[in-house]
Amino acid sequence: MVTLRQRLGAAVAIAAVAVVGLPGLAAAAPADAAPSNIDPSARGQLTVTAQGRTAEGVESAPIEGVELTLQRVTEYGGQRVDLATPQGWRAIEGADAATIEQSGAVMEPAGVRTTGASGEATFEDLDLGLYYVTPTAGPAHVAARTMPFLVTIPYPDEKVTGGWLYDVAVFPKSSIATADKTVDASAALAVGDRATWTLTGSVPEGATAGQPLSRYVVTDTLDPRLQYVPDSLRITTQPDAGLGAGDYAVSYEARVLTITLTPSGLTKLAQQASPAATLIASFDTTVVAIGDGTIENAAAFAIGEARFAPRSVMSWGSLEIYKHVAGDVDAPLAGAVFQAYTNADDAKNREHAVEMLVGGQLVSEFTTGSDGTVLLPGFPAGTTVHLVETTAPAGYTASGSIDPVTIVTGENRVEIANAQRSGVDLPVLGAAGMAGAALLGLGLIGAGVGIAVVSKRRTVRAQR
């Protein structure tokens, strides 16, 4: 014969419902009742502590926000349930929480409670009887609520032969899920480079040990400033569940990436389910624009009944260069050409200049326009940029050492002056200058005459 206690143990999800007496709360039997007999006048109390595992070996993490509905079973198998009588106990032999709703049992409402921060919910002043407890709602991180279960008041005291508990405590276990999202932009130097997004979800047990979760769906809605890199998606599990191409479906439509585990995938996850197990999905995007500099990307996880919406943020900044005449900040200069580097050695050696996506093309040289400005559209915030002026505007000297710029989120600006080149020495003009020039001219004429005379005389001498 299957006893009620055995049925109670089999009806609970994840772990058996533990039933204990609460210290100091056991009701005393009246003086005219034998200690081993049930007191028909006693009132009962049921305390349910919702628990879940969040890490390997942690069995008693309380769960706040679990809604519990309590019903008293007044008739089962066509017989009245009165636990103050032997007939009532015989009536509930074989009662099973998994099938009681389909058995035709008659039940009446006995209250609804929601667990607090300690995970506890208490039903007080209860009649003796058989009670059906149903978790009807739960917080977002519960992947699989404990299955409905049955409990009697009073309950046999396992520590005292012939003893009965009127204040009963049960500890049903639920399956807890977690989810997270991170971004790695460490390899990104500028707009046009890639960032890697990683979505990590736990792989908890289902409603019962070994049972697959009802669903496992991961979605990621890309910001318009990000472009998904095809074929960059990687899906792994820890420990390895051996997921293959047929174990999940992938789609990318309207900037939404969706990963859905198929029934075969859910079965493989169930075989590896534990508080430490994880599913990891990572993919790459190209940063095509930065806008205000804050790029937030939102994901969504549906792990069984659990729901999560983790977000991750990248911070970027643009850099505007303004070129002007030294000594006159309002005199812009066009035609100055710059290159950017992310470390001083590269800038010194003119190696590994930053390439940046501008107008759909990767460029590494940036030339100021007629207003003296040129925009370098984006660097990750915190990047130290070393600028080198490779070509100065005609008639101006190139800037020498330019102080490095540390990029902050949003807009950044640097102003760089160019000195005008010096010209060749010109003749001195004016009255005094003209007089000097006239005297110099006369001297030259005289010298010319002398030269001519000498030359003539030498010619004559040569003829003699």
pLDDT at 29 over 60: no
Is 380 inside a domain boundary? yes
DSSP 3-state percent helix, strand, coil across the chain (nearest 5) = 15, 40, 45
Q: How many other CB atoms are there within 10 angstroms of residue 92's CB atom?
A: 21
Question: Residue 36 has what pLDDT?
Answer: 73
**Residues 267 and 139 reside in one and the same domain:** no
Helices within 303-430 (DSSP H only) = 344-349
pLDDT in tens, 216-262: 999 999 999 999 999 999 999 999 999 999 999 999 999 999 999 99
Is 413 inside a domain boundary? yes
Confidence of residue 145 (pLDDT cuts 50, 70, 90): confident
Confidence of residue 146 (pLDDT cuts 50, 70, 90): confident
pLDDT at 2 over 90: no
Domain end position, chosen among 152, 176, 200: 176
- In whole angstroms, what is the distance from residue 261 CA to residue 240 CA? 15
Residue with tokens 């994840």: 14
- In whole angstroms, what is the distance from residue 391 CA to residue 401 CA? 14
Of all residues in the chain, what percent carry a pLDDT higher than 90? 70
Question: Residue 35 has what pLDDT?
Answer: 54
Residue with tokens 């990767």: 362
Supply the CATH number for residue 244's domain: 2.60.40.740
Is 425 inside a domain boundary? no
Q: Regarding predicted confidence, which is higher, 45 or 428?
A: 45
**Residues 363 and 283 reside in one and the same domain:** no
Is 433 inside a domain boundary? no
**Residues 221 and 338 reside in one and the same domain:** no
- In whole angstroms, what is the distance from residue 391 CA to residue 286 CA? 30
Once rounded to an integer, what is the mean pLDDT over residues 309-330? 96
Count of domains in the chain? Answer: 3
Question: Residue 359 has what pLDDT?
Answer: 87
**Residues 195 and 153 reside in one and the same domain:** no
Is 322 inside a domain boundary? yes
Question: Residue 447 has what pLDDT?
Answer: 38
Domain end position, chosen among 133, 148, 176: 176
Between CA 201 and CA 210, with CA 205 as vertex, the angle to 5 degrees is 135
pLDDT at 170 over 60: yes
Confidence of residue 7 (pLDDT cuts 50, 70, 90): very low
**Residues 246 and 332 reside in one and the same domain:** no
pLDDT at 453 over 70: no
Is 456 inside a domain boundary? no
**Residues 202 and 290 reside in one and the same domain:** yes
Once rounded to an integer, what is the mean pLDDT over residues 22-34? 36
**Residues 113 and 194 reside in one and the same domain:** no
Q: How far is CA 378 from CA 290, 372, 383, in A?
A: 6, 19, 10
pLDDT in tens, 324-339: 999 999 999 999 999 9
**Residues 47 and 125 reside in one and the same domain:** yes
pLDDT at 18 over 80: no
Confidence of residue 452 (pLDDT cuts 50, 70, 90): very low
**Residues 107 and 17 reside in one and the same domain:** yes
pLDDT in tens, 76-97: 989 999 999 999 999 999 899 9
Burial track 205-228 (b if 16+ CB lie within 10 A, e otherwise):
bbbbeebbbeebebbbebbebbbb
Would you say 383 and 407 are in contact if contact means Cβ atoms under 8 Å apart?
A: yes
Supply the CATH number for residue 339's domain: 2.60.40.10
Helices within 15-127 (DSSP H only) = 86-91
Is 423 inside a domain boundary? no
Burial track 4-30 (b if 16+ CB lie within 10 A, e otherwise):
beebbeebbbbbbbebbbeeeebbebe
Structural domain for 328, as ranges: 316-418
Of all residues in the chain, what percent carry a pLDDT higher than 70? 82
- In whole angstroms, what is the distance from residue 77 CA to residue 10 CA? 20
Question: Residue 396 has what pLDDT?
Answer: 95
Once rounded to an integer, what is the mean pLDDT over residues 152-164? 91
Domain end position, chosen among 276, 309, 342: 309
Would you say 239 and 168 are in contact if contact means Cβ atoms under 8 Å apart?
A: no
Once rounded to an integer, what is the mean pLDDT over residues 406-435? 77
What one-letter code names the amino acid at 161? Answer: T
Tokens of 326: 């030294």
pLDDT at 3 over 60: no
Three-class DSSP category at 286? strand
**Residues 371 and 243 reside in one and the same domain:** no
Is 271 inside a domain boundary? yes
**Residues 158 and 249 reside in one and the same domain:** no
Question: Residue 205 has what pLDDT?
Answer: 85
pLDDT at 312 over 80: yes
pLDDT at 21 over 50: no
**Residues 44 and 130 reside in one and the same domain:** yes
Q: How many other CB atoms are there within 10 angstroms of residue 288's CB atom?
A: 16
